[in-house]
Amino acid sequence: MKYMTVPWSQQIQQRYQCVLAEDLCEWFDSGIWKHADDGCGQRFLQAVAPQDLLEPAPQAIWPALMPCDLLPIISNGLGDYLCMRMGPDNSIREYVHWYHGGGDWIPWGKTLAEALLFDSIRQNLPGGQRDHAFAAAIEHTLLADDVHPIDRWTRQWLKNKHGVTLGDRKGHEIANTVLELGIAEAAVRCQLCIAALENPLLHELDDPHWRMIPPDQRQRYLFDCGLLPGAVIESIPMEPSDLCAAQDWDAVAANCEQVTNQRDDLAWAWDLWGYSFERLGLQKRAIDCYRRSLRCSIFTDQTVRVRTHTFVKEGQKFSATRLMQLEYQSNDTSEQAYLQCLACPKPDERRKLVREYFSDLAASANGSDAHDYWVKAGWDLGAEPMTAYGDLLTKIETTAAEAGRMALSAIAQTHRQCFKDRYGL
């Protein structure tokens, strides 16, 4: 049998022309993945078998919806996946939570063990009530580290690598501990932002005047209670000073600044930081943040979790909406052309225009730039029509190989085969 001649990790590295980190090799070769066989909705505990990843078209891949630099490793049993995200140097860049309900993703750590550790503690973090897996309808039960083998494995990794144990820490204490260790920082800081914006008094208010407000408008007020009109405030039997006391926009700004200091590709961080400036009347600084967010994929905006979704139309970037609201006009002709694409009122036409915009840039570029633009053509806003992904994946495969990004080329080729098998295109 081919699958039994060499270790799984070596076969996967050969299949995808990549280099796997030590913890992922151990995951496959020691058989620890076999213990991840009981995904319960809120936890990622249903492994993708290594032999499945060796197939020409792995069933776990969602072609077109899933970015073509991702390989799924573990599912929550409801369609979401914990995926390895391949880097241009043919090694794994990070692990991300990919949401099947819209294609969004958020980084959970640089290693598999780090991502699994975050999965095991996230319900104990601030902001945990607005969980990552919205599709889950199963009541979450935190599995103790002395119960599940996956939790024991990740905590042993933490102890071996950092010489510490988390014990029974919760809330900000556990958040501060993992941040000090540099573990899952973007994911933890996103949780802290959500917690800083949470307003339990308003969210749980049982008042007829509050309930009569349209749901989308209520979500806006929950995002920023400073938007509450005077008439609404007067109708609610609560002191005005108490309504907004729970929100801490300074903490939001501080966490977003930390994230953007480390990486520039997460729209949610630029969006929230920009809005924190906008609400203070600092328009220039807000615009600077929104322009940085424009360069990020819409699939990194975490819009439902951070409640920016009520400000945008279907398939629109929050940053583009705010820039248009602020009547921003760019002196950069390329940026202005892109903004004009985003200003299109029809979602499908807007996605088509954005695809064509980046396709034109890719066609006139070379090497890694061409590869990056082709990826943006598919996953900056999502491509229209759906059939376009066949040609896009082929071009991504080719240009990645030409740029020496062999692992990304191999993964794109696999996504292309999945797209063909799934849709006949």
Arithmetic mean of pLDDT, 64-85: 96
- CA nearest to 45, candidates 128, 136, 107, 170: 136
**Per-residue pLDDT, 242:** 76
In this prediction the pTM is 0.93
Number of neighbouring beta carbons within 10 Å of residue 228: 18
What DSSP designation does 70 have? E
Task: Give the DSSP H/E element, type plus range, for residue 92.
Answer: strand 92-98
| Token pair belonging to 354 | 């954005």
Assign 4 a pLDDT band (cuts: 50, 70, 90).
Answer: low
**Does residue 237 surpass a pLDDT of 70?**
yes
Q: Is 43 exposed, middle or buried (0-12, 13-18, 19+ CB in 10 A)?
A: buried
SS3 of 72, please? strand
What secondary structure letter does DSSP report for 49? P
DSSP string, 100-139: TTT--EEEEESSHHHHHHHHHHGGGSTTTTS-S-TT--SP
CA distances from 15 to 1, 72, 175, 330, 392 (A): 16, 15, 38, 45, 22
Winning range, highest mean pLDDT, from 117-126, 157-166, 204-213: 117-126
Indicate whether 65 pLDDT > 50: yes
SS3 of residue 90 by DSSP? coil
* Per-residue model confidence (pLDDT) at position 136: 38
